[in-house]
Amino acid sequence: MGWGFFFMMVVLKIPIALLLWLVWWAIHAKPEPEPTNGEDGGTKRPLNPRPRHPHPRPALPRNPRRGPHGAPQVAPPPRVRTVVARARSVERH
């Protein structure tokens, strides 16, 4: 109970204390002064120098219509090989 109690009650409280100190420091920090010479403090690049896609993408080709108003159903592909099953001969001694 000695080392476990010390670890739980003292060592694990150090990150909590540091977090509380960081929050206290952030609350009491003085804000940075605004620039007074007309600059906004940022870069002067345009927000979007060139569009990501200069032209709209072309539409994808439509699927062929099937059914009574379109082309007939596509025939299944011909079989490449046939299955030939032979009966095994079972010999009992």
Any domain includes 20:
yes
In angstroms, the CA 35 to CA 42 distance is 11
Is 5 a member of any domain? yes
63-70: average pLDDT: 68
User: Looking at the domain assignment, is residue 1 inside a domain?
Assistant: yes
Burial letters for 1-28: b for 16+ Cβ neighbours within 10 Å, e otherwise? eeeeeeeeeeeeeeeeeeeeeeeeeeee
Residue 87 maps to a domain: no
pTM, two decimal places = 0.34
Q: 5 lies in which domain range?
A: 1-27
* Phi, psi dihedrals of residue 66, rounded to the nearest 5°: -115, 160
Is residue 41 one of the residues assigned to a domain?
A: no
End-to-end CA distance of the chain: 76
Tens digits of per-residue pLDDT, 40-56? 666 666 666 666 667 77
pLDDT by residue (tens digit) across 75-93? 888 877 766 777 677 776 6
Q: Is residue 66 part of a domain?
A: no
> Is 15 inside a domain boundary?
yes
Q: How far is CA 3 from the centre of its chain?
A: 44
Domain count, the chain: 1
